[in-house]
Amino acid sequence: MASSSSSDAIILGLGVVLAGVYLFRDTLFAAAKPKATPAVSAKIANGSSNPRDFIAKMKEGKKRVVIFYGSQTGTAEEYAIRLAKEAKSKFGLASLVCDPEEHDFENLDQLPEDCAAFFVLATYGEGEPTDNAVQLLQNIQDESFAFSDGERKLEGLKYVIFGLGNRTYEHYNVIGRKVDAALAQMGAARIGERGEGDDDKSMEEDYLEWKDGMWEAFATAMGVEEGQGGDSADFTVSELESHPIEKVYLGEYSARALTKTKGIHDAKNPFPAPISVARELFEPHADRNCVHIEFNTEGSGITYQHGDHLGVWPLNPDVEVDRLLCVLGLSQKKDTIIGIESLDPALAKVPFPVPTTYGTVIRHYIDISAVAGRQILGTLSKFAPTPDAEAFLKNLNTNKEEYHKVVANGCLKLGEVLQLAAGNDITLIPTPENTAAWTIPFDIVVSATPRLQPRYYSISSSPKLNANSIHATVVVLKHENIPSEIVKKKWVHGVGSNFLLNLKHATNGEAVPLISENGEERVAVPAYLIEGPRSAYKEDTVYKAPIHVRRSTFRLPTNPKSPVVMIGPGTGVAPFRGFVQERIALARRSIEKNGPDALADWGRISLFYGCRKSTEDFLYKDEWPQYAEELKGKFVLHCAFSREKFRPDGGKIYVQDLIWEDREHIADAILNGKGYVYICGEAKNMAKQVEEVLARILGEAKGGSGEVEGVAELKLLKERSRLMLDVWS
């Protein structure tokens, strides 16, 4: 029976095949017919079939400059695009702006002699390349990596380098310096000086001071003359008379968000997370705010680990949106649907989804709340409504000291600068009646204004205790500017933190606090359109915010026997709350499995925390005793209250003072216990001073000094990832 069945199956199968051959005979036997694919053949002929071949792309597009950017938050990419635009406007040279992650470097030695390579590289974290520049750095530094001719030589390559860093970090601009040194070692010739931007002071000013000399050297090295370029736009903006509104982006960040289709939630498609808890952490009498906020991620597919960062996507406050709409004369056209196209997609991609509206771009997609840059003011001066306004902007553009006094110290946003130039009162609520309209083309606004980026916060929870919830601890940024004769005293509000404060008020149904100024009662914080596009961020009484998770290497040691020292004053304590929760989850399992003595050989976790007063801004003060009890004495909290407890000489006590007091335990934990040290918080003063104290403790414990033996030990700890920092300027 089995044999007969097999024969039948074979015969049946053969019949099906023969029938198929007959039915599709024209297709199967049409090899002699020419294929209509001349475009593909042409691409293969000129080598552009390989999307990773930047040399072929340059030849195909007749480009003489290639610009590689290493960018983590988008800033380096912005400067790369600016350099490309300047090469075009000054010399008429076309550039190819490249994400190094998307290209191969074996043929870097094939760059033609009349071309140049630019490297715009940010240093990220503790002296690390940005994620998209890891492979570039490895290729440039790896002695075994060879170029297309089989050698590690780049003789004849002309290059320009601009690094982005922060001087408060130990490894200031180290990636730019490493690439510069490696290229020079292989015989490449640098054009001009290496540029280094310091984000702690003014990246913009560093760039402006560097670029003029670089362009002079560039003109000489490339044999070009300034003035050969033209002042052309990067985009064309067109108003669309009819377009289905359901296909218009009104603040959505992705096509999936617009069409409400499921997909992975990441930096390109943030998740609108419901807010389950939002509460004030500071006491009612404090003059500041700190928001504890919990996002429900159930069903989103988002996962996280302790120490990761939460990206929150804010929007611009109502008053600044209205201000810029008035300045641009677009108040009555804010809902007009527009399309935006790039005139050179390789140079400047449209930085947000389209079609959209004027109002949406200004509210959701571009950062109009940052201090206005000096360079753009010269470009905008030609569109001034009066000669006086034009002269005012030109002066700010060319006079660095005046710009610093008026704009930088005054913390003026673009809309405010343009109002001020036109003689408008920037203290009034902006309206078309009290604001002069400028004739600035919208494509210039899009080109000159950075995209509004997510704000990142250290996650203050552990997924082992909060699997479907991500917690953030956010101090609300609010400070006064430095007034001048031209700019009055005013409050400056952080975009992301005040956005979250608005959400806290709405979530809890709280009244927005009021203040009285000059006899006029006004709200104390800026308002935001927190309902989101198409009211997508509000469901009944629940508010949502778009979020995503950014991975971090800021992690506890896997072995609980290792001692841990954590230093986190202020909101620097946020990740350490997650660390302690992580340990508690492990402790519960260990005790359940091995009994009440399961933690006996665990290493001690020491947390050094500081704030102003125990009665004012002591974060999570009710939780720490509970954590200590659960960890059976393996968790010890050291608190410094800088405005409450003082040294005998009257000086304030900070976390570094507590660390010195506990120096014997710290030295033993690190040197003998092979412990781990974590620092989180402000980089410029706190982190630097903490490292100095740690170096002194370790140096003296080893029988030497902090300056020699101590510094060497800290360096070793960092190399072995036993001293880790999560700091900001």
> Any known ligand binding at 169?
yes
> Any known ligand binding at 172?
yes
Write the pLDDT tens digit of every residue in 418-472. 999 999 999 999 999 999 999 999 999 998 888 999 999 999 999 999 999 999 9
Which of residues 425, 448, 471 is at a domain's end? 448
> Any known ligand binding at 27?
no
In a domain, 331, yes or no: yes
> Any known ligand binding at 438?
no
In a domain, 616, yes or no: yes
The verdict on 198 and 342 lying in the same domain is no
The CA distance from 69 to 117, in Å, is 11
What HEC string does 384-399 produce? CCCHHHHHHHHHHHHC
Instruction: Categorize the per-residue pLDDT at 89 as very low, low, confident or very high, splitting at 50, 70 and 90.
Output: confident
Write the pLDDT tens digit of every residue in 572-620. 999 999 999 999 999 999 999 999 999 999 999 999 999 999 999 999 9
The CA distance from 621 to 49, in Å, is 61
Please state, as a whole number, how many other Cβ atoms lie within 10 Å of the Cβ of residue 126.
Answer: 17
Write the pLDDT tens digit of every residue in 297-313. 999 999 999 999 999 99
The verdict on 695 and 576 lying in the same domain is yes
The verdict on 215 and 319 lying in the same domain is no
> Any known ligand binding at 647?
no
> Any known ligand binding at 45?
no
Q: What does DSSP say about strands 195-198 and 158-165: parallel, antiparallel, or unpaired? A: parallel
The verdict on 444 and 581 lying in the same domain is no
pLDDT average, residue stretch 345-368: 91
Q: Which amino acid is at 469?
A: S
> Any known ligand binding at 711?
no
> Any known ligand binding at 365?
no
In a domain, 416, yes or no: yes
pLDDT at residue number 513: 78
Query: Chain centroid to CA 110: how far?
Result: 33
pLDDT at residue number 564: 98
Exposed/middle/buried for residue 327 (C-beta within 10 Å: 0-12, 13-18, 19+): buried
pLDDT at residue number 41: 31
Which whole-number Å values give the CA distances from 428 to 334, 386, 433, in the listed order?
Answer: 21, 21, 11
The verdict on 611 and 723 lying in the same domain is yes
In a domain, 183, yes or no: yes
> Any known ligand binding at 685?
no
> Any known ligand binding at 445?
no
> Any known ligand binding at 76?
yes
> Any known ligand binding at 164?
yes
In a domain, 495, yes or no: no
The verdict on 327 and 199 lying in the same domain is no
> Any known ligand binding at 409?
no
Average pLDDT, rounded, for the chain: 89
Please state, as a whole number, how many other Cβ atoms lie within 10 Å of the Cβ of residue 26.
Answer: 8
| Helical packing angle, 203-222 and 75-91, nearest 10° | 40
Which residues are 123's β-sheet partners? 129
> Any known ligand binding at 71?
yes
What are the structure tokens assigned to 128, written together?
């690390």
Q: Is the pLDDT of residue 717 over 70?
A: yes
> Any known ligand binding at 475?
yes
The verdict on 322 and 216 lying in the same domain is no
> Any known ligand binding at 627?
no
> Any known ligand binding at 553?
no
The verdict on 717 and 577 lying in the same domain is yes
Which of residues 416, 448, 480 is at a domain's end? 448
> Any known ligand binding at 302?
no
Give the CATH number of the domain where residue 709 resides.
Answer: 3.40.50.80
> Any known ligand binding at 168?
yes
Whether the full predicted model's pTM is greater than 0.85, yes or no, is no
pLDDT at residue number 441: 94
The verdict on 196 and 319 lying in the same domain is no
Write the pLDDT tens digit of every residue in 313-343. 999 999 999 999 999 999 999 999 999 998 8
> Any known ligand binding at 471?
no
For residue 712, which phi and psi values (nearest 5 degrees)? -65, -40
> Any known ligand binding at 165?
yes
In a domain, 623, yes or no: yes
> Any known ligand binding at 190?
no
> Any known ligand binding at 642?
yes
The CA distance from 472 to 490, in Å, is 28
Q: Is the pLDDT of residue 407 over 60?
A: yes
CB 425 within 8 A of CB 323: no
The verdict on 67 and 215 lying in the same domain is yes
Which residues are 638's β-sheet partners? 608
Write the pLDDT tens digit of every residue in 181-219. 999 999 999 999 999 999 877 888 899 899 989 999 999
Q: Domain count of the chain?
A: 3
Which of residues 407, 427, 448 is at a domain's end? 448
In a domain, 655, yes or no: yes
Write the pLDDT tens digit of every residue in 25-69. 443 333 333 333 233 333 333 334 688 999 999 998 889 999 999
Give the CATH number of the domain where residue 80 resides.
Answer: 3.40.50.360
pLDDT at residue number 520: 61
Instruction: Note down the domain range covering 603.
Output: 564-727
Look-up: residue for tokens 């101090």?
475
> Any known ligand binding at 332?
no
The verdict on 721 and 576 lying in the same domain is yes
In a domain, 238, yes or no: no
What are the structure tokens assigned to 392, written together?
């005012």
Q: CA dihedral in degrees (530, 536, 541, 547; nearest 10)? A: -70
> Any known ligand binding at 655?
yes
For residue 374, which phi and psi values (nearest 5 degrees)? -70, -40
Give the CATH number of the domain where residue 389 resides.
Answer: 1.20.990.10
Report the candidate in 552, 513, 562, 507 with the shortest Cα–Cα distance to residue 530.
Answer: 507
> Any known ligand binding at 72?
yes
